[in-house]
Amino acid sequence: MHLFMKCPECGNNLPDSSIFCFNCKTDLTQFQKIHSQVGQSNNKKGGIGCLVIIGIVIVIGIIVNIFEDKKPTTQEKIDPRFNDDYKTPNSDQKNATSNFWNYVIKEKCLAGTTEENFDELVKFSVRKDQDAVMMMVAEGKVVVLDAHIRVRRMSGFATCKIKVMSGDLLGDELFVACEDLEHSN
């Protein structure tokens, strides 16, 4: 907001609320209307500019998050269960992980990056709120899992915590509906 304006006749500094110039007695009511209209249009332009900048920052953040380099940890490099080329566990590994081994995603589905995100996804899905679900995907709270991706079931009964064992999300821990999993040989 402007605290002062200039008289169009003599250039004297005056409070914004002045209706005449104290110096030259010029009527300022017409000038005041124009002055306030210019200020309002400048405020609108500034608001739009801020929204554009915020939008650009959000888009850049999403792009950076999508292309973030996901390097395997040392454990994932050493442990054959994390290796895409690994097909069958030896007997010791199979016995130690028999409850958690050899699952695949039945059909393309959505998975939450946290259990809370998955619960929120379920609520939106029950309400058939596709816009909210798409927003969660855009924000990275939910990811799409393609059919036949190998996973290891880590825990859960209705909601399963899984570790992705193949594909682009290798090593990620996610939450899916257990009904989206099926045993694999």
DSSP per residue, 117-176: HHHHHHHHHHTT-HHHHHHHHHTTSEEEE-TT-EEEEEEESSEEEEEE-SSTTTT-EEEE
pLDDT tens, residue order, the chain (185 aa): 446 777 888 888 877 777 788 888 888 777 655 555 555 555 555 577 778 888 888 888 777 776 665 555 544 444 444 444 444 444 444 444 444 567 899 999 999 999 999 999 999 988 889 999 999 999 999 999 998 899 988 887 788 899 998 888 888 999 999 889 888 86
* 20 lies in the same domain as 49: yes
Q: Indicate the pTM of the whole model.
A: 0.46
* 174 lies in the same domain as 93: yes
pLDDT of residue 88: 42
Q: How far apart are CA 109 and CA 156, in angstroms?
A: 17
* 53 lies in the same domain as 80: no
* 78 lies in the same domain as 163: yes
pLDDT of residue 75: 46
* 112 lies in the same domain as 154: yes
Please say whether the beta carbons of 87 and 160 come within 8 A.
no
Please state, as a whole number, how many other Cβ atoms lie within 10 Å of the Cβ of residue 110.
Answer: 21
Please say whether the beta carbons of 32 and 15 come within 8 A.
no
Give the number of domains in the chain: 2
Range of the domain at 148: 74-183
Given 45, 65, 85, the domain boundary residue is: 65
pLDDT of residue 118: 94
pLDDT of residue 35: 54
pLDDT of residue 101: 62
Exposure string over 90-100, b if 16+ CB within 10 A, otherwise e: eeeeeeeeeeb
Given 65, 82, 103, the domain boundary residue is: 65
pLDDT of residue 85: 42
* 20 lies in the same domain as 57: yes
Q: How far apart are CA 134 and CA 136, in angstroms?
A: 5
Long-range CB pairs of 79-84, under 8 A, 24+ apart, other chains included: 81/152, 81/165, 82/165, 82/170, 82/171, 84/165, 84/166, 84/170
* 54 lies in the same domain as 90: no
* 86 lies in the same domain as 176: yes
Please say whether the beta carbons of 93 and 81 come within 8 A.
yes
* 110 lies in the same domain as 149: yes
* 56 lies in the same domain as 88: no
pLDDT of residue 142: 94
Please say whether the beta carbons of 121 and 136 come within 8 A.
yes
